[in-house]
Amino acid sequence: MCRGPMAPKTSDRRAEALRLYMSGLNLSQVASELQTSVRILRRLLAGTPMRPPGPGRRSDVSDERVLELREVHRMTWEQIGDTVRLTTPGARSRYLAAFARRGDPSKAAQKAVLDKVAERVRRRDIAQQRLVNGVREALAIDVSLSSLAQALNIDEDQVLRLADLDQDPDGDQVPG
């Protein structure tokens, strides 16, 4: 670091630090480039909005792609994350940010709540269908109605309603 009459002015150093930081370098890289410490660099950049620490936003994943996967292909957050190599919360955040940029941010918050509810309903429906299929399979292999009711901690009428033997697994009426 140069001191004395040959040292660059603070305003010049600040401008250079700001230029380097805004180009995408992190604080450590800028400090190294200017041959100073991160502590001094923070003082130079005081009042400048700083990026949060941690890895930067992945530029190879477009917001439009996340929107398309969610809205057109109806993928879950996990599926989107697996497809574009983001974490599940990262996929959700990316979607909500893109959705908010398209219109009213309060609508994005409402949509987020509705999406969470829809996801819970979808999971509940899947669990319900698994239960129905399990009851049907158990009755098909001659498990007694009373032992099945006891295992599920419900009465026999509820087991029969679950099995609803007049319906096929897709919900269509079985010809009698």
Structural domain boundaries of the chain? 10-44, 61-102, 116-176
Residue 173 φ then ψ, to 5°: -70, 130
**Cα 37 from Cα 127, distance rounded (Å):** 57
Predicted pLDDT of residue 3:
54
pLDDT tens string 11-39? 888 889 988 888 878 888 899 999 999 99
Contacts of residue 170, Cβ cutoff 8 Å, sequence gap at least 6: none
Tell me the sheet residues that pair with 167. Answer: 173
Residue 64 has pLDDT above 70, yes or no: yes
Query: What SS3 state is found at 155?
Result: coil
Using an 8 Å Cβ cutoff, are 97 and 125 in contact? no
Q: How many beta carbons lie within 10 A of that of residue 44, not counting itself?
A: 20
The percentage of residues in the chain with a pLDDT greater than 70, rounded to a whole number, is 82
Residue 120 has pLDDT above 60, yes or no: yes
Predicted pLDDT of residue 106:
63
pLDDT tens string 77-93? 999 999 999 888 888 88
